[in-house]
Amino acid sequence: MKQSLQLKLGQQLTMTPQLQQAIKLLQLSTLDLQQEIQLALDSNPMLELIEDDGESSTAESSDNGINEQLSTQSEQSSAADTIQDPQADSLPTGEWDETMPNELPVDTQWDDLLPSSSAPPRAAPEGGEMDFDQRNSVEPELQDLLLWQLNLTRLSDVDRVIAMSIIDSVDGMGRLTVSPEEIHQSLEDELEIDLDEVVAVLHALQQFEPAGVCARDLQECLMIQLKQLPASTQWLEQAKQMVSRHMSQLASGDFPQIQRRMRLKEDQLIQVMELVQTLQPFPGEGVGADATEYIVPDVFVSKQNGRWRVELNPDIAPRIRINEGYAGMIRRADNSTDNNYLRDNLQEAKWFLKSLQSRNETLMKVATRIVEHQRNFLEYGAEAMKPLVLHDIAEAVEMHESTISRVTTRKYMHTPRGIFELKYFFSSHVATTSGGECSSTAIRALIKKLVAAENPRKPLSDNKITQLLEEQGIKVARRTVAKYRDTLFIPPSNERKRLV
């Protein structure tokens, strides 16, 4: 093969640290952004917080932090000379601005450059400090609650080992995930016990709180709860008979057969059903709940004088600026360690402020375009939602779809109809009989409305919902209706059937 030299022209994006910072800030959520700003304030002495009264917060710790990093005593004395005459050789702020581009090149393909996750995991705070909620909230897991009750119960050492093995086999919903036979086999080598002893310990644990815990299936769970009710409870015996003998008909909603077999009138069957519906099928669901997640809206949308107004939340991030006192300490031609330290921090501070400004401008552009496109949703609700994809907004604001995807992830909009993630306003479309398009979000809203208005005695099947939508000019297949119904957590028609 003959070797030769060729000259090619091409464009290639270089991921500079400044560009990486701009991309990182763009995709952070509100709470993560506040933490990132606080970290910048703590680590960069050139940044200062603007208080509500307009004065900056220059704490003594900031001065001490700078003095510590200005190293030796001799260097501190030269820094003191600089402070005494800050204007003699100070570097004008405008010369630094000339090196800063007006717009950051954050509009690019990021999938190959950064992880697809919205934000990297945050490191634990130094010194073992924890969040206030983590320090003060008490949310024991279900196993912890069961072990606490076990410690208050008098059992032999062997039975206690069996009980701990059973508790370890209980899932988060309170259901026993293995059979007593399997527990017996796992303990048979170290303990000389019979299967009856395992079952006896299981029955003892089934009396623990929450009621119905350690049950092997739904039927046993409901029966445990019914047995713990007072004997004076009305329709208690009938409810026990229904759960123990007619569970399959109860699950399928075959109420006429239950009524005929139990020889109950319709009003009597209704009262028995009301008692059964008070039971908890998943006893452990309310124990060890997830930690509270707070949502702070990034954008506020309100209607003023007949026009929809979009504005950024002024409280989502503290206002920061360059500390002019420290910036004035920089000398133009001084290459000392102190001067280079201040120079580097000033450059980083300006890039950080520029990245924040770019993030806010991009978020404002995208939110404004979304509101313009989904004005009918704000006026009339989810049924008036229009089809919208990322490409539509990307074309309107002249950015890439990947940029729009990250801007709309974990960003929330406060509207008169509630708080929604920006991605909520994007949905695919379905053709209508008139040749137009209908949003999948609007179709889901219509399905939810039809199910809410249906006769509980004769709930609408998926085929019937398809016909009703077609009468309104929306052509969807039955399997599409079933898929949308599942996303709304609406059970099939046979499970929605009720007596009242």
What pLDDT, in 10s, does the model give residues 252-296?
778 888 888 998 898 899 899 889 989 999 988 877 655 567 788
Phi–psi pair at 62, nearest 5 degrees: -65, -45
Q: Is the pLDDT of residue 309 over 90?
A: yes
Residue 294 lies in a domain: no
Q: Once rounded to an integer, what is the mean pLDDT over residues 409-425?
A: 92
Q: Is residue 134 part of a domain?
A: no
What 8-state DSSP symbol labels residue 286?
G
Residues 6+ positions from 158 with CB-CB distance below 8 Å:
191, 193, 197
Number of domains in the chain: 4
Tell me: do 90 and 28 sit in the same domain. yes
* Statement: residue 89 has pLDDT above 50: no
What's residue 291's pLDDT? 57
Residue 76, helix vs strand vs coil: helix
Res. 76: pLDDT tops 60? no
- From CA 130, how far away is CA 386, in angstroms rounded? 44
Please, which pLDDT band fits residue 338 given cuts at 50, 70 and 90?
A: confident
pLDDT of residue 499: 65
**Would you state the pLDDT for residue 447?**
93
Tell whether 128 is covered by a domain: no
Tell me the residue type at 422: L
The reply to whether omega before 210 is within 30° of 0 (cis) is yes
**Is residue 276 located within the same domain as residue 165?**
yes
Task: State if pTM tops 0.75.
Answer: no
Nearest to 363 by CA among 402, 403, 395: 403
Same domain, 23 and 64: yes
Give domain status of residue 178, yes or no: yes
pLDDT for residue 122: 44
CB-CB neighbours of 126 under 10 Å:
6
Question: Bigger pLDDT: 341 or 192?
Answer: 341
Contact criterion met (CB below 8 Å) for 472 and 446: yes
Name the token pair of 178: 């293995």
Residue 371 is assigned to a structural domain of this protein? yes
pLDDT band of 13, cuts 50, 70, 90: low
Contacts for 217 with CB less than 8 Å, ≥ 6 apart = 175
Examine residue 44 and state whether it is found in any structural domain, yes or no: yes
- List the strands of the sheet with 412-415, edge to edge: 307-312, 299-304, 412-415, 418-421
Residues 311 and 324 in one domain: no
Give 460-495 pLDDT, tens digit per residue: 999 999 999 988 888 888 999 999 999 898 988 877
Residues 333 and 462 in one domain: no
Q: Over the stretch 422-471, which tens digit does the pLDDT of each residue have?
A: 999 998 877 777 767 788 889 999 999 999 999 888 889 999 999 999 88
CA 466/CA 477 separation, integer angstroms:
7
What does the pLDDT average to over 235-257?
88
CB of 26 within 8 A of CB of 36?
Answer: no
How many CB atoms sit inside 10 A of residue 236's CB?
16
pLDDT of residue 11: 67
Is there a domain that residue 73 lies in? yes
Single-letter residue type at 387: P
Decide if 365 is inside a domain: yes
Distances (CA, A) of 43 to 40, 48, 69, 318, 375: 5, 11, 11, 16, 43
Q: Can you give the pLDDT at residue 222?
A: 93
- Domain range spanning residue 380? 299-315+358-422
Same domain, 330 and 435: no
Strand 320-322 relative to strand 47-50: parallel, antiparallel, unpaired? antiparallel
User: How far is residue 378 from each of residues 247, 252, 307, 410, 436, measured CA to CA in Å?
Assistant: 46, 40, 11, 20, 21
Residue 144's nearest CA partner among 162, 168, 160, 165 is: 168
pLDDT for res 412? 93
